[in-house]
Amino acid sequence: MLRYVYRILTINALVLSLIVIFQTSAQAQPNGEALFKANCTACHVVGDDVVVGPGLKNVHTKYKEDWLIKWIKNSQAMVKAGDPQAVKVYEQFNKVAMTSFNLSDDEIKSIIGYIKTTSEAAPAVATTPEVAAGSEAKDGGSSLTLILVTLTLIILFVILNRVQKGLQRVINDRNGIPEPVKLKGKAGVKVWIRGNKKLIAFLFIVVSVVGSVAGWKALAGIGINQNYAPDQPIKFSHQLHVGQNKIDCRYCHSGAEKSKNAGIPSPNLCMNCHKYVKKGPKYGTEEISKIYEAIGWDVDAQQYTGKTKPIKWVRVHNLPELAYFNHSQHVTVGGVACETCHGPVGEMEVMKQFSPLTMGWCIQCHRDTPVKMEGNGYYNAVHENIKKNTVLMRSLQLKN
């Protein structure tokens, strides 16, 4: 009987070891494509096009791997240290600071490997942004491991419980103790519960832990609308206007440079082009006619009728009221590109929320992005106003 117990324990130990080895090997081989899509697609494509940063086609042939690893981890440190290549790249792309990434050397090598493979397979391909790809892969692997470990422990517990009962029967037979009468119905259930308190306690702990983790993830996801892409009353293609026609974001969303809100473009702005462009390449006259109806434009008479109708756009990005965000301070003062937060808009047929827009996401960006205080007219004015207000307050206090 003891040999049987040892064999069971050995088998389960081997199963657990295999699970650990499997999980370790899965984590030791990072997915370059998932990491690229999770960290790089907001600013880069594997092609020749410039989004925020340069196209990364054949970047592995332009720079050494060791240099790329250092650059991706902390580009600004290299610029400040006077690295010639780093300074050249920084100045070439309008001195826009690249975000620092807390990635391991192996993870960065896997990203470089993905860029190399993609460059050789399809030189002009532009990757589709999938922000959550890396996190989903990691969550899927950890969930699978948790399930396998839980099932293994349950099986081990059941087997050992049966072994214990078998040994108890052997001891009872030797001592002449008769087998207990098996009860049925509610009485049997109560007896079973009393005899299996450890199993019930173990299952309760497992269910509590799994339920707590699932509940925490559900609560943490409240208010996060990443990848939210609602249907709009007029089918407006950012891919056509921004990607193909190269219209600057700030032409339509002029408020981004001057005020807190970027603003929704007025139909009057649309008429700057669509007074003459009456037919689109995809929807023909159907969607453009909705603009004419909203602004009261008679196509045949080529004049305004005065009968307007508001366009009920559906808001895509919506911060909670407790969060203060000023577009002009980031766009004009900070020089932050629109794509940094909104992703590759020029590739989006339907506009969607690219970033999570959580407080942690904002804080991480501010940790990685140095704020240029020196020589910045905005901050110089702020500091001067603080000095003036301080002097004014002191004079008022002295008078009182």
Domain-ending residue, one of 96, 127, 158: 127
Instruction: Give the domain CATH number at 49.
Output: 1.10.760.10
- In the chain, how many domains are there? 2
Residue 375 lies in a domain: no
Containing 303, the helix (H) or strand (E) segment is strand 303-304
Residue 287 lies in a domain: yes
Residue 82 lies in a domain: yes
Residue 356 lies in a domain: yes
Residue 337 lies in a domain: yes
Residue 58 lies in a domain: yes
Say how far residue 144 (Cα) sits from the centre of its chain: 21
In order along its 400 residues, the chain shows pLDDT tens digits of: 555 555 555 665 556 555 555 555 544 456 788 788 777 876 788 887 766 678 888 888 888 888 888 888 888 888 888 888 888 888 887 677 777 777 888 888 888 888 888 888 754 434 443 434 444 444 455 567 778 777 887 787 778 777 777 787 888 788 888 776 665 667 677 777 777 788 788 889 989 998 998 898 888 888 888 999 999 999 999 999 999 999 999 999 999 998 999 989 999 999 999 999 999 998 999 999 999 999 999 999 999 999 999 999 999 998 888 889 999 989 988 889 999 999 999 999 999 999 999 998 999 988 888 787 777 777 777 778 888 888 777 777 777 6
Residue 364 lies in a domain: yes
Task: Give the span between the Cα atoms of 120 and 232, in whole angstroms.
Answer: 39
**From the CB of residue 42, how many other CB atoms can be counted at a distance below 10 Å?**
22
Return the pLDDT at 44.
82
CB 283 within 8 A of CB 235: yes
Buried-exposed string 290-305: b where 16+ CB fall within 10 A, e elsewhere: bbbbbbebeeeeeeee
Domain-ending residue, one of 108, 127, 146: 127
Residues 243 and 363 in one domain: yes
Residue 115 lies in a domain: yes
Identify the domain containing residue 74 by its residue range.
42-127
Q: Is the dihedral of CA 166, 167, 173, 179 positive or negative?
A: negative
Domain-ending residue, one of 127, 158, 174: 127
